[in-house]
Amino acid sequence: RGHACGLLHFDPRSPQGAGAGYLEAVTGLGVGDDAVTARPRAEVAADPVARTADAALDAVVVVLATWTVVYHVCLLSGIGATPALVAEGVLLVGAAWMGRGSVRRTQSDGCPAPAARSVRVERSWTRGPTVWTLASAAIAATAMALRGPWVLVWVPWLVAGLTGSFAAVSCLRGLPSLSAGAPAPPSRGGAGFVLVAATGCAAFSLVAMRPNPDDLFYVNVSQWVAEHGTFPVRDTLFSDLRYPMANWPPTASYDALTGAVAHLLGTPAGTITYLVVPPLASFLAVLALWRLLRAWRTPLVSVAMAAALLFLLFDGTSSYGSPGNLFVTRLWQGKVILLCVLVPVLLVHALRFVERPSRARAGWLFGCGVAAVALSTTAIFLVPILAVAATAPLLVRSPRTAVAGFAALSAYPVGVGVVTLLTGGRSADDFGGRRLYRFDGSWIGHEVFLDGLIAFVAVAAVLLGCLVLPHPPARLTSALAVMFTGLVFVPGSTRLAYDLTGLGPTLWRVTWACTVAGLVGVLASWVVSRWGARWARRDWRRWLGLVAASLAVALLAAFGSPIWAGDTSTRLVRPFHWQRGDESRAIVAWMLAHSSPGDIVLAPDGLSVTVAVTTTRVKTVAPRDYYLDYLSDDPTFDYADRLTLDHLVNRVGGWSAGAVPPALSSLGVRIACVFRDDHVAAGLLRAAGFSPAHSTATYRCFLA
């Protein structure tokens, strides 16, 4: 009888290889021998398209890593943007010269297996954990889909992670090497489909508009660099470097890079952030997913890619944390680029290091860690978690090498985390006093995995990854990622983390380690392979892909929500636009024409965000109210007056009519805009001496 380790050589041309092999490998219900031979794989020249795509992704890692080092040196020394770009250019030339001729690509990112060797795995060691993992996955996926009691999600989730880890470790102990035991994908396959899909996603990013308020700080920093040519270490939202910075320290270098490029080209930072980055990042995100699937040695890569992309395109709702909502429609933000581009590349390089450790591959791990820091402070806790999960397979053979790999990958993020703690790191968002429901594990889980059919598929794919992934070390990595995510789902865990470290609800991003879309693709590939074997003798195999694809699209259309649907706040507009509405951009242009540098403007949140991402010449009273909190004790900041005016124009309670005129006078507000139908605020502005000056379909603006 079969076993649960998946050590069989897989031949997709054989009906038994296509279906029975995987069925036997995953569930232990197939027919096979206890003694399984892992056949060696010949090292075949890589597909030129794959080789070029992988080189492009590696180039992104090199650019982000070297720029981060340059940027951090500039922060400490006060060097400006132009010298920083010159230094970056020198580093890139040096890196290209040192790396010339050193890259030898094979058909996958893995290494050839050693000579064939008989492997025996005791069935009793793996059958039990496999059954437990399958049962736990079924319970958790069903409970998530039906919004059942949360205990039916997080408990079986942790059980699936624990038993899956045990099964994966048992399999690794039976392998002759960590690069053995899984089939290699064909040297050419799916490249044309991937290029079409990547181009399509890039084109879609040009017509999708989904404004996001998080831009107010990060793009404002980019705009400061574009306008002044310096890297700020103090506030640019409310003043010209007068107050401390809201998010401290400014360790992520991505926003500084977009600002430096904009400064060099003499264009607003938003032009780079909103017009250049989304199509480029969307194209790279598809290539990164393809690379990860190939590194996992996934059979039927085109099927896996199609399933993963379909899942992402129909994984939308009002939720901001689902994988689909963190795909094309938000791929100008550094943290989303971290998820969609860098995490897959990081996992690929970690898998290559696990297969054959070397100093060069450890260097790539270090570079990935630095590049992650470039994109988001999330890297401070996410990369060490990925490092533990990705290098854990080496503990079976060489604990010292595993520690070295972990150190290489996590050294820079951990170092930045230490610096953040020592310098009094902070975030503008007060997790302990605002929207406390975000501490709820149930809320986090459904925010990421949603409910219904989409949730069932996503959770099942994640929890079964330790069984269906073709690459044995990747199974253990997947199981450990499930364990870390399950800990976030435990009730009270995020509150405890916030009290101890200040992270709190941000830990929901630990789910990024699960690579949900990739695992959905792997599961789909496994299902199609199994069905292909069953129906091959009836000559139905040629129609299988079409039938499966049609069924998947029909189910997703019926039960999923497209990421361009109205409830996602996404609109389809003409290409080459900023991620801000035309109306708000026109009002900001009017403001700039009727103001002087240093003027204060009052406007509702959405319009204030547009001001912040467009210019640093004028300042807003409050782009979002919680950004005021960290300066509430500074008497020169006029916190109470700012809060009064912010609540007035955003139609929030907690203000009095008598406090409005003194607040306007104290802050020196020059321009004030309110909603067109807000007659109360308009009347108070007129009473304070403001005159109507401009109006649109949504807003009315007044001049002092």
Over residues 179-191, the pLDDT tens digits come to 665 555 544 457 9
- Using the predicted structure, report yes or no on whether residue 14 has a pLDDT greater than 60: no
Name the percent of the chain lying above pLDDT 90: 74
> Distance of CA 284 to CAs 74, 298, 503, Å?
28, 20, 29
Two tokens at 69? Answer: 């080092």
Cα 444 to its chain centre, rounded Å, is: 16
The single-letter code of the amino acid at 359 is: R
Pairwise pLDDT comparison (117 vs 296), residue with the higher score = 296
Q: Specify the amino acid at residue 615.
A: T
Range with the poorest average pLDDT among 116-125, 479-488, 639-648: 116-125
* pLDDT recorded at residue 5: 55
- The pLDDT value given to residue 539: 52
Q: Where are the beta strands (DSSP E) in 593-668?
A: 600-602, 619-620
* Strand ranges for 28-99 from DSSP E: 35-38
Q: Above 60 in pLDDT, residue 481?
A: yes
Q: What is the pLDDT of residues 344-394, one digit of tens each?
A: 999 999 999 999 999 999 999 999 999 999 999 999 999 999 999 999 999
- Say yes or no to pLDDT of 636 above 60: yes
Q: Across residues 570-575, what is the average pLDDT?
A: 94
As a whole number, mean pLDDT of residues 130-158 equals 97
Percent of the chain surpassing pLDDT 70: 85
pTM of the model as a whole? 0.91
Residue listed under structure tokens 């951990």: 414
Sign, CA torsion 402/404/408/414: positive
Predicted local confidence at residue 557, as pLDDT: 76
What span, in angstroms and rounded, lies between the C-alpha atoms of 166 and 127? 11
Residue 136 has pLDDT above 60, yes or no: yes
Q: Determine how β-strand 35-38 pairs with β-strand 691-695.
A: unpaired
* Residue 494, number of CB atoms within 10 A of its CB: 26
Quick: pLDDT tens for 590-634: 999 999 999 999 999 999 999 999 999 999 999 999 999 999 999
pLDDT score, position 542: 53
Reading the block at residue 139, the tokens are 């319970």
On whether the CB atoms of residues 3 and 21 are closer than 8 A, the answer is no
Q: What is the DSSP letter of 338?
A: I
pLDDT value of position 536? 52
Q: Residue 530 — very low, low, confident or very high, per pLDDT cuts 50/70/90?
A: confident
Under DSSP, the state recorded for 244 is P
111 pLDDT more than 60: no
Backbone angles phi, psi at 424, to 5 degrees: 75, 50
Q: Could you tell me where the DSSP H helices lie in 266-358?
A: 269-270, 277-295, 301-313, 334-337, 343-355
Provide the pLDDT confidence category of residue 535 given band limits of 50, 70 and 90.
low
Pairing of β 699-703 and β 691-695: antiparallel
* Phi, psi (deg, nearest 5) at residue 638: 55, 55
Upper half-sphere CA count for residue 443 (Cβ side, 13 Å) = 12
pLDDT tens digit sequence for 249-279: 999 999 999 999 999 999 999 999 999 999 9
Spatial separation of the C-alpha atoms in residues 467 and 5, rounded to whole Å: 8
- Which of 117-121, 132-136, 641-645, 668-672 comes out lowest in average pLDDT? 117-121
Tell me the C-alpha distance between 26 and 127, whole Å.
10
Express each pLDDT in 551-567 by its tens digit.
777 887 788 899 998 88
Question: Does the pLDDT of residue 120 top 60, yes or no?
Answer: no
Four-CA torsion 407, 410, 415, 416, nearest 10 degrees? 170
More confident residue, 596 or 527: 596
What are 191-247's pLDDT values in tens digits? 999 999 999 999 999 999 999 999 999 999 999 999 999 999 999 999 999 999 999
- Predicted confidence (pLDDT) at residue 26 exceeds the cutoff of 70: no
**Burial of 342 from C-beta contacts in 10 A (0-12 / 13-18 / 19+):** buried
Placement of tokens 């994966």 in the chain: 168
Query: Does pLDDT of 417 surpass 90?
Result: yes
State the pLDDT confidence band at 512, using cuts at 50, 70 and 90: very high
Tens of pLDDT, residue by residue over 396-414, are: 889 999 999 999 999 999 9
- DSSP-assigned letter for residue 45: B
Interior angle at CA 519, CA 513 and CA 525, nearest 5 = 165
Instruction: Give, in order, the Cα–Cα distances in Å from 541 to each of 183, 298, 527, 534, 699.
Output: 21, 19, 13, 9, 60
pLDDT tens digits, residue range 145-180?
A: 999 999 999 999 999 999 999 999 988 887 777 766
- The mean of the pLDDT values for the chain is 87
**Quick one: angle between helices 472-489 and 343-355, nearest 10?**
130
pLDDT value at position 102?
53
Distance CA 201, CA 281 (A): 10
- What CA–CA distance (Å, rounded) separates 206 from 204? 5
Average pLDDT of span 105-115 = 40
